[in-house]
Amino acid sequence: MPLTDKRFKLNTGAEIPALGLGTWQSAPGEVQAAVTTALRLGYRHIDGALCYQNESEVGAGIRDAIKEGIVKREDIFVTTKLWCTYHTRVEEGLEESLKNLGLDYVDLFLMHWPAAMNANGSHPLFPKHPDGSRDIIWSHSHITTWKSMEFLLPSGKVKAIGISNYSLKYLEELLPQATVIPAVNQLENHPQLPQQEIVDFCREKGIHVTAFSPLGSTGGPLLSADPVVEVAKKNGVSPVTVLLSWHTARGSSVLAKSTNPARIEANKKLIALDDADLAAIDTYSKENIAQNGGPTRYVYPPFGVPFGFPDKP
């Protein structure tokens, strides 16, 4: 079986495809065609979010593929996310996404970040205080939001619920209070930010990990890192293929973002990395973290506060 078709079983019993098409920061007017192209090329996992502001295009791309007979709805694993201004109105957030997507249900609904923002603030998605700082409702607990998400499951409008951007601290807060264990934790994850402690903890608790930003940053140092280039040469593939395949070797699904048809197709070509390949990348990770005084994160919360969500701004 090609690795593109590989699937991982979630704690719900459902299967999530190893490779997904990411749609964050995809340019308006290009997302619809990208989704249809990806489905035509064999992708079966499409990842979106309300705050990406392109769910309507994602839904249109899915409908186009269904109309063309490429797929049926049940063939596709669709993920979307509850945005921070909807933490106090979770059902409304889901309904907004379903309306945008034009779907009756999503396969996975994630809490995008474990921090609530003011639903009645200066902007529907990114409210700010007059001083420019993000308008966060620090008194609202992410656990309360999770409890509201659990109530969505009987509706059939979500097949599974999960979390995104959860640190170990927040996982340890949530799990003792959760009736439903999250199916997925979606994280920024790459060799410069392996987050091994969180990955191992999630595995222990039966929470699947999905990696976003698997290349670090576009044109960033990961693509030219000597060990990554050497592993690519050894296997006769590109560094991008190595970095995407690193995740499936770790048991994680991975999101590859592109609207370019040639790149969408190239990103499909996952390979099986051997122990020597993985050891070389692991050594690079450790050396890079040591040289830089810590891991390198490229995606920070849109809150104007450090990652880790302190109790007070």
Positions at the binding site for substrate: 112
CA distance 176 to 194: 25
Using DSSP, state whether 188 is helix, strand or coil.
Answer: strand
CA distance 243 to 259: 19
Using DSSP, state whether 268 is helix, strand or coil.
Answer: coil
Q: Please, are residues 106 and 157 in contact by the beta-carbon 8 Å criterion?
A: yes
In a 10 Å sphere around its CB, with 0-12 CB exposed, 13-18 middle and 19+ buried, how is residue 306 labelled?
Answer: exposed
Token pair in block for residue 7 = 């699937």
Token pair in block for residue 162 = 């999960």
**Which residues on neighbouring strands pair with residue 163, listed in sequence order?**
111, 185
Per annotation, catalytic residue among 52, 86, 166, 170: 52
Cα distances (angstroms) measured from residue 187 to each of 51, 198, 226, 246, 301: 16, 9, 25, 15, 12
Token pair in block for residue 84 = 């921070």
- CB-based burial, 2-38: b 16+ in 10 Å, e otherwise: ebbeebbebbbeeebbbbbbbbbebeeeebbebbbbb
Using DSSP, state whether 92 is helix, strand or coil.
Answer: helix
In a 10 Å sphere around its CB, with 0-12 CB exposed, 13-18 middle and 19+ buried, how is residue 204 labelled?
Answer: exposed
CA distance 264 to 256: 8
Give yes or no: 52 in active site: yes
List active site positions. 52
